[in-house]
């Protein structure tokens, strides 16, 4: 298949139906709206309703707050809900009826109140815990905090000193002031609480001495009672806060169970409303008409016409082919069996409009490469079952389902290669049942050289397919000279090299090299088309340089030996796990059997996971680096139609209707 054919669609209509047209376009989801530009005409843009847009934005913010707040207390009922983003299932009719009504506003106010109070409780808890910690060394002081100021003739200095500095500070006070005493109230792990009593005549000396030390004066603003009593009051307050917090959390949990899914759906509905307002910024308009333009795949034209059928008397729809200067979005159209491989194309980047879709070209090779890297029937079957269960039993996004389809195909490829190599969890032949005890077509351990040669041969075919694809692109664009001189000449040299490697006379290769120098140097083009003999002669030197550049093909071909290496590593690690299980299986009292089973299961699971990563990354690298570099550029913009926001939703058809989300 290929890149979908696109049309530029224009819808012009009476201003009275603009609301319905926008709604129908969004519901159909088949047009990527672009800013309307009419050559040679001055059409002003449609004026946005700023007040309405700001109102919707405020509602979106409120709905997102409610969704996020309730989401903190929501428990998914889906398996592995912690790791998988939960989808909200809703009918189209219910989705369209969603709005931030009075009931939602009441919910919003309650959520704000709970959130604010929980924040206040958290701050108050922090304050009380800090107070209890600060009071800890003072609990044995039988003097009310309000009396810590001293008397008519005696001044009190209450504070703490580090345990390591206590002796030094005490000696400094004794050396400075005679009429002074230090009362050690209590201590914790790293400080002591002191009450320093001094005569008022010595206050300044004591203050000056303490100011030069690590003495930290205690300040308990607002406290009046004994330290132990104040600490107990703080403990009681913490208990009350905990009870209040528990009630609030229970209420939040109840609200989440009742309203979370609706609030999540409401966010998407309001974002859709916001898009419906913002999209008008791309419209052009006069006093009584409007004009909207966009891109639509050819195969969806009928859907657009049907969607706007209710207002067809007030609008006119026209379709046009893209102009060369247009930036056309890209939609890929492939057979269902090839669609999972679009994941790889999108990883690299969509092709430009009108270019070659690489998906059909890479599909077969990636299938083969994946199978060669994993290469085991048991691993393939486990992978197929696991991917199928994730796809069908978990409520995952469409993109994840498509990736699971890719892994299912990879598991099938692994099983096929495993049958060829007689690899069933890497078990030796004697451990297999009779029906599986057959002579393998290719034994990776005994036929390592054959496996390496096969990998290189596959690489040659793969790389040359990329070169030929580039030749096809050149021919399709009318550049026959580049197709022959740049690409066909490279294929000619590689094709002539193969018989020489197999023992044939090098004469054929010699003539191929001469032809490649002539072609790559554009000698014929300069003689025939340009009629420039001197340039043709100089082209021989550029042809030699281009021929030298072909040595890069050798490193490309050798890169494919990684397929053999990864296949061998999977087999060898599996074999090691089997041998470890065999070693412990002889331990008596059933312990050996249990240990062997544990080693077998854990070991092969580890081997499967590690090699699964390698089986995806390295074949993808061969596609992106060795294959795509020969012809593919990417850089296309994915087709993104104007539609309803349903990222977190699964829309189900309303009973009696045919359309689905």
Kindly indicate the confidence band of residue 37, based on its pLDDT and cuts at 50, 70 and 90.
Answer: confident
Kindly indicate the confidence band of residue 81, based on its pLDDT and cuts at 50, 70 and 90.
Answer: low
Q: What average pLDDT does the segment 469-482 reach?
A: 93
Instruction: Tell me the CATH number for domain 1-46+283-331+640-661.
Output: 3.30.70.120
CA–CA dist 596, 450 (Å, integer)? 34
- Contact present, 632 and 322 (Cβ < 8 Å): no
Residue 542 scores a pLDDT above 90: no
Beta bridge partners of 650: 89
- Contact present, 221 and 167 (Cβ < 8 Å): no
Four-residue CA torsion sign, 624, 627, 628, 629 = positive
How does pLDDT run across 312-370, given as a tens digit for each residue?
A: 999 999 999 999 889 999 999 999 999 999 999 999 999 999 999 999 999 999 999 99
pTM for the model: 0.85
Quick one: pLDDT at residue 199? 86
Quick one: pLDDT at residue 501? 85
**Domain locations in the chain?**
1-46+283-331+640-661, 47-129+233-274, 134-232, 352-445+562-630, 450-558
Q: 3-state class of 3 per DSSP?
A: strand
Residue 40 scores a pLDDT above 80: no
Q: 3-state class of 537 per DSSP?
A: helix
Residue with tokens 């072609």: 519
Comparing CA positions, the residue from 168, 200, 202, 166 lying closest to residue 184 is: 166
Which CATH fold topology does 134-232 show?
A: Alpha-Beta Plaits (3.30.70)
1-46+283-331+640-661 shares its CATH topology with 134-232: yes
Kindly indicate the confidence band of residue 255, based on its pLDDT and cuts at 50, 70 and 90.
Answer: very high
Comparing CA positions, the residue from 371, 359, 380 lying closest to residue 458 is: 371
CA–CA dist 376, 420 (Å, integer)? 9
CA–CA dist 618, 615 (Å, integer)? 6
Q: What average pLDDT does the segment 481-500 reach?
A: 91
Residue 522 scores a pLDDT above 50: yes
Quick one: pLDDT at residue 200? 86
Kindly indicate the confidence band of residue 491, based on its pLDDT and cuts at 50, 70 and 90.
Answer: very high
Quick one: pLDDT at residue 1? 61
Q: What average pLDDT does the segment 572-585 reach?
A: 93
Four-residue CA torsion sign, 614, 616, 617, 619 = positive
Four-residue CA torsion sign, 537, 541, 547, 549 = negative
Q: Across 15-112, where does the E strand assignment appear?
A: 32-34, 88-91
CA–CA dist 580, 610 (Å, integer)? 19
Angle between helices 398-421 and 591-621 (to 10 degrees): 110
pLDDT over 70 for what percent of the chain?
97
* H or E segment to which residue 320 belongs: strand 315-320
Beta bridge partners of 434: none
Quick one: pLDDT at residue 658? 44
How does pLDDT run across 644-659, given as a tens digit for each residue?
A: 998 888 888 866 554 4
CA–CA dist 492, 498 (Å, integer)? 10
φ/ψ bin of 365: left (φ > 0), alpha (ψ from -120 to 50), beta (otherwise): alpha
> Could you tell me which residue, 6 or 507, shows the higher pLDDT?
6
Q: 3-state class of 316 per DSSP?
A: strand
- What is the average pLDDT value for the chain, to the nearest integer? 91
50-54, 78-82, 275-279, 364-368: the lowest-pLDDT one: 78-82
CA–CA dist 319, 10 (Å, integer)? 6
Q: 3-state class of 176 per DSSP?
A: helix
The C-alpha R_g of the chain, in whole angstroms, comes to 39
Residue with tokens 């296309």: 636
Quick one: pLDDT at residue 659? 40
CA atoms within 13 A on the CB side of 348: 24
How does pLDDT run across 139-169, given as a tens digit for each residue?
A: 988 888 888 877 878 888 889 999 989 999 9
CA–CA dist 26, 95 (Å, integer)? 13
Comparing CA positions, the residue from 340, 353, 361 lying closest to residue 633 is: 353
How does pLDDT run across 178-208, given as a tens digit for each residue?
A: 788 888 898 888 889 999 898 888 888 888 9
Residue 49 scores a pLDDT above 80: yes
Residue 514 scores a pLDDT above 70: yes
Q: 3-state class of 588 per DSSP?
A: coil
How does pLDDT run across 283-295, given as a tens digit for each residue?
A: 998 888 999 999 9
Quick one: pLDDT at residue 661? 33
Q: Which range, 456-460, 537-541, 549-553, has the best average confidence (pLDDT)?
A: 456-460
Q: 3-state class of 225 per DSSP?
A: coil
Beta bridge partners of 183: 195
What would the two tokens of residue 531 be? 């009629």
Quick one: pLDDT at residue 523? 80
Q: Which range, 78-87, 155-164, 182-191, 257-266, has the best average confidence (pLDDT)?
A: 257-266
How does pLDDT run across 409-453, given as a tens digit for each residue?
A: 999 999 999 999 999 999 998 889 988 989 999 999 899 999 999
């Amino acid at each position: 298949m290929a890149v979908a054919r696109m049309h530029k669609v224009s819808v012009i209509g009476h201003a009275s139906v603009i609301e319905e047209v926008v709604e129908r376009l969004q519901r159909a989801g088949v047009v990527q709206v672009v800013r309307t530009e009419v050559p040679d005409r001055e059409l002003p843009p449609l004026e946005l309703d700023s007040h309405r847009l700001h109102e919707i934005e405020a509602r979106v913010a409120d709905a997102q707050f409610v969704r996020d707040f309730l989401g903190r207390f929501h428990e998914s009922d889906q398996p592995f809900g912690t790791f998988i983003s939960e989808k909200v299932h809703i009918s189209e009719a219910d989705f369209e009826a969603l709005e931030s009504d009075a009931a939602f506003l009441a919910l919003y106010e309650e959520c704000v109140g709970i959130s604010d109070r929980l924040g206040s409780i958290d701050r108050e808890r922090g304050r009380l815990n800090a107070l209890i910690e600060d009071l800890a060394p003072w609990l044995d002081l039988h003097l009310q905090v309000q009396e810590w100021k001293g008397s008519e003739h005696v001044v009190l200095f209450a504070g703490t000193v580090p345990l390591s500095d206590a002796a030094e500070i005490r000696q400094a006070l004794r050396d400075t002031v005679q009429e002074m005493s230090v009362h050690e109230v209590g201590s914790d792990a790293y400080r002591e609480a002191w009450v320093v009593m001094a005569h008022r005549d010595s206050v300044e000396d004591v203050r000056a001495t303490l100011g030069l030390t690590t003495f930290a004066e205690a300040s308990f603003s607002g406290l009046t009672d004994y330290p132990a009593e104040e600490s107990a009051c703080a403990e009681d307050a913490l208990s009350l806060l905990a009870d209040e917090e528990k009630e609030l959390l229970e209420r939040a949990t109840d609200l989440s169970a009742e309203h979370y899914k609706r609030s999540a759906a409401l966010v998407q509905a309001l974002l859709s409303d916001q898009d419906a307002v913002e999209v008008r910024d791309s419209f052009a308009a006069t006093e009584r008409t409007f004009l909207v333009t966009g891109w639509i795949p050819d195969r969806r034209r009928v859907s657009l016409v049907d969607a706007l059928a209710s207002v067809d008397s007030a609008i006119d729809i026209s379709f046009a082919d893209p102009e060369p200067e247009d930036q056309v979005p890209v939609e890929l159209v492939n057979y269902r069996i090839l669609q999972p491989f679009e994941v790889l194309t999108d990883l690299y980047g969509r092709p430009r409009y009108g270019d070659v879709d690489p998906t059909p070209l890479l599909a077969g090779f990636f299938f083969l490469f994946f199978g060669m890297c994993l290469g085991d029937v048991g691993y393939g079957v486990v992978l197929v079952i696991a991917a199928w269960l994730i796809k069908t039993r978990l409520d995952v996004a469409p993109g994840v389902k498509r990736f699971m389809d890719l892994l299912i195909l990879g598991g099938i490829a692994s099983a096929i290669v495993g049958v060829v190599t007689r690899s069933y969890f890497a078990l030796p032949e004697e451990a297999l049942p009779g029906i599986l005890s057959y002579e393998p077509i290719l034994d990776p351990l005994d036929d390592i050289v054959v496996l390496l040669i096969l990998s290189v041969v596959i690489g040659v075919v793969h790389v040359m397919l990329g070169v030929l694809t580039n030749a096809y692109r050149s021919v399709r664009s009318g550049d026959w000279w580049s197709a022959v001189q740049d690409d066909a000449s490279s294929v000619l040299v590689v094709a002539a090299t193969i018989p020489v490697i197999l023992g044939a006379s090098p004469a054929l290769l010699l003539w191929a090299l001469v032809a490649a120098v002539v072609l790559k140097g554009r000698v014929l083009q300069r003689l025939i088309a340009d009629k420039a003999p001197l340039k043709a002669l100089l082209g021989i030197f550029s042809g030699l340089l281009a021929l030298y550049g072909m040595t890069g093909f050798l490193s490309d071909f050798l890169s494919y030996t990684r397929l053999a290496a990864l296949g061998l590593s999977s087999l060898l690690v599996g074999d090691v796990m089997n041998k470890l299980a065999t070693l412990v299986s002889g331990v008596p009292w059933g312990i050996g059997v249990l240990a062997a089973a544990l080693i077998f299961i854990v070991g092969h699971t580890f081997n499967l996971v590690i090699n699964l990563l390698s089986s995806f990354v390295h074949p993808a690298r061969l596609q992106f680096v060795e294959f795509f570099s020969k012809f593919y550029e990417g850089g296309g913009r994915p087709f993104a139609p104007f539609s309803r926001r349903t990222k977190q939703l699964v829309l189900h058809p309303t009973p009696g209707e045919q359309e689905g989300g």
